[in-house]
Structure 1
């Protein structure tokens, strides 16, 4: 696991200053504290920061082929590299290292861009081919590893793992993109098809970019996407056995490491399943770690301890305060772009705990998206059934009127907060789901944005990307479409960004076995009833894990990392919320009076705007850091 950076001149092969490449790489030193390297040639420069995991001393980067024609800088892990190595050796390739990096060089020589289809792993890499006079950038299927790039005024393309890497180049203009601010305020993160710095792009998950000398920089090409349009056949028992085999294989392939390895253990279904399969495959006690909270309603330590005892893991836990907001500036520095998923606080702490003993940790990320584990999928499915009972014109009129008349009762028990559901039923499924995954509603954003910002947005609306994704999804069912859209946006933009930045901030490699692409492809073919049944998400996965895990773990209500931001803004951060109305960096984009009302209404208890206030705090800190 590493950080990469580089420059490429597609038109005129200008000299590349090695110091510039080094600066772009070294600003990402946290991603690779074990070593650094750089390589330059006319018109190209590649930089690397290394976190040593496989072949600790024998695979320095950037790495060149024996004849010097190919050079690669690479971030990630290729889990099937041993099989690919054997296949390439059978074709005559001669390897001089024992790691996975060299597989990329020989793989490109043998198969070119088609090599990507053979890779099973998480990765972002840049490969220069002197013979073909090109630079090839690629990102893994699900977007586990990041890659940013930008076209500069001197004709170069600069790229780096993190935004701070490209910003280290002096020719990158630092202008905010108001459309990305709209996207962030809608979802709590800047999606992968946007960037807070205008002109900077992120290579999307499952995409590659081939830049050839003498030609304009093209649009990226998609080389993989999840497909929900096919359905698996067979009995529940047969599909269950296939699922277990895929999960077992995914976990075992991610346990290959030349450094200490462990797992995050929350006590939920996903991390418990990963630990169970690790224990089955390991000849020694699995190292596990858990973060607990000093608020009983948010503390899962007892569930994690139950799993740790069941599988005799080497278990460690740590309690953190519920008001652990001292990490704000640390997170702002780690994420670069504004990021408002408050569970990043807990994720950082559990990575910090893991890093004290291990360099690699397996997580349970991805199962909710692949197996339909989120509660919102259940609501979406139920709402779609209701939508199917009434003609659209009647449904829009009836539920729209009821929703507008129903009071907004943030303070009431969940069963009595029907306004959102009624308004959702008045919309089509895609529009409703796009709002369901959001944080701040379009109406509230419109009230907060200044007139200048609204004009600059030019009609751009964050939810439209979700509507398009669901409309164009290769899918059969409304649940398929919701999951597909989450794979396009939520998973890479929120979940995987959170895990990558928090783990890499302290030099820890996180691996996600439940996002093995073969497992994801299989899950996408499952009949809806095998994913969501009787209001129970991840139905087949839970059933398949009954042989490993107790039912009180499998079927207890989902908790997850919960950070009490609403309480913070009525307590220790109340003054911080009020101060936002006077913020210099927010003033041009937002109406100060509207922010003041928002903070006052929240503090008094008239409304719950905790998540939106958290968004504004994180946005302000990020904007100050990026744009001064």
Structure 2
């Protein structure tokens, strides 16, 4: 796992400022503390920070091909590199190293842009081809590894593994994208392909682009892979017969490393399944780690302990106090743009714990999206059954007014909290799911935003993000549509972003077997009624794991990686709410209605409502705003 950076002048082959590329690389030192180096050519500067995992001494980057034609900077792991090495060697290509980086270089020389189809793993890379005078960039299929880029007015293309790499350039444009605030307060992150800044972008998962010298602009990125969206055809017996073996193979290929390796063990189904299969694939005990909380309602360590005892792992646990909120400003620095998932704090701590003992850790991320494990999927399907009873033309005038008039009653029993449901019933499948997924619903965002900002959106609504993906899979059933949208938005923008920044802050590599693209191409075909069965999410996955895990781990109520925000905001963080959310920079930003900010804080502090989610979202936005303006 590494950090990459680069500058490529589209039209000028003059020398670039070496001090700038060095500053860009230095700011991501944490991603690769083992080594760092540079490559310079006419109008090209490439930089790399290395965290050594495989071929510890023999694969320095930037790396030139044996023939000298191509140079690569690469972040990630290619799990089938040995097979590719043999295949390419048989075709006459020379190798000077035993790692995976040189495999990509020779794959480029053999297959060109289609080299990505031969790679199995997680990756973000850039290849400078001196003969073709071109720069080829690509990102892995699921977006496990990040890739940011920006084209400056002077014709220089900047790229890097983190947004902070780009901001080191003195000509980088820090103007915020106008739609950022609308998107962020809907999702809690800035969705692909955009960033918080109007002239910088994220290369979307499964995309590539070839840029040739002389071009005046960056060509449109090309999608080379997508989640299979044909109608599922497997029956339950097929799923049960194949699932564990396919899952085990995805785990197995991720256990190759020349450094200590272990796994996260939260006590949930996905991470427990990974640990169970790892234990069956190696003779030595698996190194596992877990983070506990000193608040019982948020603590899952007893379930992690069950799995650790069953497989005799080298298990380590650390307890995080309920007042562990000193990470707020550090998180704002790590994530570079507004990011509101509060589970980033325990994720940071578990990565910190893991790095004390291992350099590589396997995680269970992706199982909820792939096998429909989130509670929201069940609620979505309940709403969908009601939608099917009446056409939209009747539902909209019936439920629309109810959704507008019904009060938001966080304090009431769950069956009485019907405002979001009424609103969703007046919508179609995609809009209803968007409404349910929003941190702040459209009506809440309108209250929060100032009139000037709301009018400047010119009708833009974050629903467009969901429509972009929902329209591609509208022929699928409603559950598959929701899963597909989540894998394109929430998984990459929230979950994978969280894990990448938190792990790389500690120079820890995290591998994700459930997001192996070959496993996904098979598993996404699991019929929806086998994923969500009689209210049980991930049903087929859990059934397949029954011989491997305790019943209490498989079928207990899902907890999630939560923190006690509501209590924090009524106690130790109360004053920070008032000082931060009502600060001069927040009020003068032009985004917010001051009365609504006051109302959100006061209602929560007095216990009238649980506004912890919007308050945390606002607090993280304030932290970003403060840091970005200080750096400008």
- What TM bracket, shorter-length normalisation? over 0.9
Aligned to 1:532: 532
Mapped partners of 1:581, 1:53: distance in 2: 43
Mapped partners of 1:582, 1:527: distance in 2: 49
Q: Tell me the alpha carbon deviations over residues 175-200 of structure 1, each in whole angstroms, 9 at most, x when there is no partner.
A: 12231121111111111222112201
Aligned to 2:355: 355
Shift of the alpha carbon at 1:333? 1.1
Shift of the alpha carbon at 1:570? 1.3
Aligned to 2:609: 607
Aligned to 1:625: 627
Are 2:217 and 1:226 aligned?
Answer: no
Mapped partners of 1:281, 1:572: distance in 2: 46
Segment of structure 1 superposing worse, 420-429 or 399-408 = 399-408
Shift of the alpha carbon at 1:340? 0.6
Conserved in 2, the CA contact under 8 Å of 1:601 and 1:607? yes
Paired residue secondary structure (1:353): helix
Are 2:541 and 1:541 aligned?
Answer: yes
Shift of the alpha carbon at 1:475? 4.4
Conserved in 1, the CA contact under 8 Å of 2:294 and 2:319? yes
Mapped partners of 1:523, 1:466: distance in 2: 22
Conserved in 2, the CA contact under 8 Å of 1:190 and 1:493? yes
Shift of the alpha carbon at 1:236? 1.8
Are 2:375 and 1:375 aligned?
Answer: yes
Q: Tell me the alpha carbon deviations over residues 491-510 of structure 1, each in whole angstroms, 9 at most, x when there is no partner.
A: 11000000000000110001
Shift of the alpha carbon at 1:610? 0.9
Q: Tell me the alpha carbon deviations over residues 260-294 of structure 1, each in whole angstroms, 9 at most, x when there is no partner.
A: 00000011100000000000001100000010001
Shift of the alpha carbon at 1:474? 6.4
Structure 2 CA distance for partners of 1:173 and 1:101, relative to 1, 3 Å: same
Q: Tell me the alpha carbon deviations over residues 147-205 of structure 1, each in whole angstroms, 9 at most, x when there is no partner.
A: 10000121110000000001111110211223112111111111122211220111001
Are 2:488 and 1:488 aligned?
Answer: yes
1:209-608 superposed matches below 5 A: 209-215=209-215, 216-233=217-234, 235-473=235-473, 475-587=475-587, 588-608=590-610
Conserved in 2, the CA contact under 8 Å of 1:291 and 1:319? yes
Shift of the alpha carbon at 1:585? 2.5
Q: Tell me the alpha carbon deviations over residues 416-453 of structure 1, each in whole angstroms, 9 at most, x when there is no partner.
A: 31222122112111111012221011112111212222
Conserved in 2, the CA contact under 8 Å of 1:308 and 1:315? yes
Mapped partners of 1:417, 1:452: distance in 2: 31
Aligned to 2:127: 127
Q: Tell me the alpha carbon deviations over residues 458-497 of structure 1, each in whole angstroms, 9 at most, x when there is no partner.
A: 2221122113311222642111111111111111100000
Conserved in 2, the CA contact under 8 Å of 1:288 and 1:315? yes
Mapped partners of 1:177, 1:547: distance in 2: 51
Mapped partners of 1:155, 1:393: distance in 2: 51
Conserved in 2, the CA contact under 8 Å of 1:227 and 1:474? no
Conserved in 1, the CA contact under 8 Å of 2:209 and 2:220? yes
Mapped partners of 2:181, 2:270: distance in 1: 33
Aligned to 2:2: 2
Mapped partners of 1:171, 1:400: distance in 2: 48
Shift of the alpha carbon at 1:404? 3.8
Shift of the alpha carbon at 1:405? 4.3
Mapped partners of 1:255, 1:622: distance in 2: 37
Mapped partners of 1:456, 1:404: distance in 2: 24
Mapped partners of 1:360, 1:32: distance in 2: 13
Conserved in 2, the CA contact under 8 Å of 1:122 and 1:140? yes
Conserved in 1, the CA contact under 8 Å of 2:420 and 2:435? no
Q: Tell me the alpha carbon deviations over residues 502-548 of structure 1, each in whole angstroms, 9 at most, x when there is no partner.
A: 00011000111110011111122121112111111111111110110
Segment of structure 1 superposing worse, 394-403 or 64-73 = 394-403
Segment of structure 1 superposing worse, 565-574 or 488-497 = 565-574
Mapped partners of 1:360, 1:449: distance in 2: 43
Aligned to 1:18: 18
Mapped partners of 1:32, 1:490: distance in 2: 27
Mapped partners of 2:494, 2:430: distance in 1: 20
Shift of the alpha carbon at 1:581? 4.5
TM-score, length basis structure 1: 0.98
Paired residue secondary structure (2:412): coil
TM-score, length basis structure 2: 0.97
Mapped partners of 1:607, 1:132: distance in 2: 61
Conserved in 2, the CA contact under 8 Å of 1:581 and 1:592? no
Mapped partners of 2:283, 2:424: distance in 1: 51
Aligned to 1:75: 75
Paired residue secondary structure (1:315): strand
Paired residue secondary structure (1:440): coil
| Unaligned stretches of 5+ residues in structure 2 | none
Segment of structure 1 superposing worse, 53-62 or 565-574 = 565-574
Paired residue secondary structure (1:376): helix
Conserved in 2, the CA contact under 8 Å of 1:18 and 1:38? no
Conserved in 1, the CA contact under 8 Å of 2:66 and 2:94? no
Segment of structure 1 superposing worse, 520-529 or 148-157 = 520-529
Conserved in 1, the CA contact under 8 Å of 2:581 and 2:622? no
Aligned to 1:145: 145
Mapped partners of 1:92, 1:135: distance in 2: 24
Mapped partners of 1:563, 1:414: distance in 2: 21
Mapped partners of 1:538, 1:272: distance in 2: 14
Segment of structure 1 superposing worse, 53-62 or 467-476 = 467-476
Shift of the alpha carbon at 1:90? 1.4
Paired residue secondary structure (2:198): coil
Structure 2 CA distance for partners of 1:623 and 1:353, relative to 1, 3 Å: same
Shift of the alpha carbon at 1:69? 1.1
Structure 2 CA distance for partners of 1:392 and 1:232, relative to 1, 3 Å: same
Conserved in 1, the CA contact under 8 Å of 2:66 and 2:95? no
Shift of the alpha carbon at 1:394? 2.2
Q: Tell me the alpha carbon deviations over residues 242-263 of structure 1, each in whole angstroms, 9 at most, x when there is no partner.
A: 2111110110111100000000
